Amino acid sequence: MTAKPSTGKLVPLEGLRGLAALLVMLGHIVRGLVPPGPGPLDPLNQLHQLVLNGGAAVTVFFVLSGLILSLPFAKDRRPARILTALLKRWPRLLALTTAACLFSWAAIGLSGASYQQAAALTGNWWMASHFNAPLQGHDTSWTAALCDGVFGVFWTGDVRFDSPLWTMRIELLGSYAIYLAAPLLFAARRWGLRLAILGALMLAAGATAPFTYFTDFLVGTLLAMLLAEGKLPVLPAGPAAAMAMAGVYLFCFSAGPVPLLYAPLKALLPASAAAHFVWDISAACLITVLLGSPALRAAFSGGWAVRLGQLSFPLYVLHVPVMLSAGAVCFLHTVAALGLPGAVLLAAATTIAVTLLCAAPLAWLDQHWTALLGRATGILLRRRPAVSAGS
């Protein structure tokens, strides 16, 4: 049996995107607030290394983007459809990146060097470096933040205000690549030809970062073709559980030192960049089981999944500026009374709470901005009747 193609919003995938965003946020909180090395909070460092795999979560984001962005071309491959997609993508992303950069600029102004003072007490070099985005020697005015949000994070890689935005350049360029590749792949009706094209594109991208990220998007396109044509399997409980466990196992694989559990896999993949291909398989397993298992699809189709999906992008872009401001200030004001472990835990809780609070209005902005862009670019699509997918 095969899963029926979805005609509406893929709510289970929204839930998966939201969970990936939460994992990134929690991983960054542990990496930024918890002191490195042995100590009472070292179990959190171990949890971060084993489960809170930010690299795998980002791969999930890109595979999901490839899937969602490819699906419309199953039925409509007109040049106007491709053009509107290309025109809309950059404005679609820049609203939240600009808001995030301006938010970070304001947080820097209010909290000053609190993050550096907190890092001096915890010995955490990552926080001291502004999460690998040092501010020293750079313009930190509101106009610089505005320019970074609109242009810099996409075209020059400037992420001094908000380091997680390094993914936006890849997201934009990967989206453009998919808008050009997906119509070609859907138009090639024979699966042998499709797989040959996919293989050639993946081979051309190679195994060197950042080009490995292009493969993430292509895996999403492959899943989109399977979904649109009803070729994803319907999974009974047993196979679904096995595939879910395989997906989680591969998700926890790391490019660096790994537990003995991953030794056989590590021996087969000596190059660190090859971890991306492991994570691609993980993402494909998780997406297939969410769409192919009736039980899991139902569990991930509730209101919580919709809301978490809406919050995923805001959570991703806001949590680091919040941690470097509100989290650091909370730590500094409580460390004397609570001790270092207690202050770290309270700062982590504060970071999560403030990020969730700030993410809600940003999600509202994102929803309305996306709708506005849809109406604006939809004018191009209404000029001519759509051509069927079989034409």
In three-state form (DSSP H/G/I as H, E/B as E, the rest C), the secondary structure along 132-166 is: CCCCCCCCCCHHHHHHHHHHHHHHCCCCCCCHHHH
Mean pLDDT by 10 residues, the chain (391 residues): 53 94 95 90 86 92 96 92 92 96 95 94 92 86 96 93 95 95 94 94 79 91 96 94 95 77 75 79 96 93 92 96 97 96 96 96 94 82 46 29
Please report the pLDDT score of residue 341 as a whole number.
Answer: 95
pLDDT in tens, 98-119: 999 999 999 999 999 999 999 9
Contact (CB, 8 A) for 315 and 14: no
**pLDDT score of 380:** 65
Question: Of 335, 317, 300, whose CA–CA distance to 122 is shortest?
Answer: 335
Positive or negative, the Cα torsion across 320, 23, 70, 196? Answer: positive
Structure tokens at 383: 């000029």
pLDDT in tens, 75-95: 999 898 899 999 999 999 999
Cα–Cα dist 183/335, whole Å: 56
What is residue 273's predicted lDDT score, i.e. its pLDDT?
65
- Residue 264 vs residues 242, 260, 274, 286: alpha-carbon distances, Å: 19, 8, 14, 22
**DSSP states of 328-346:** HHHHHHHHHHHHHHHHHHH
| pLDDT at residue 381, as a whole number | 66
- pLDDT of 6: 43
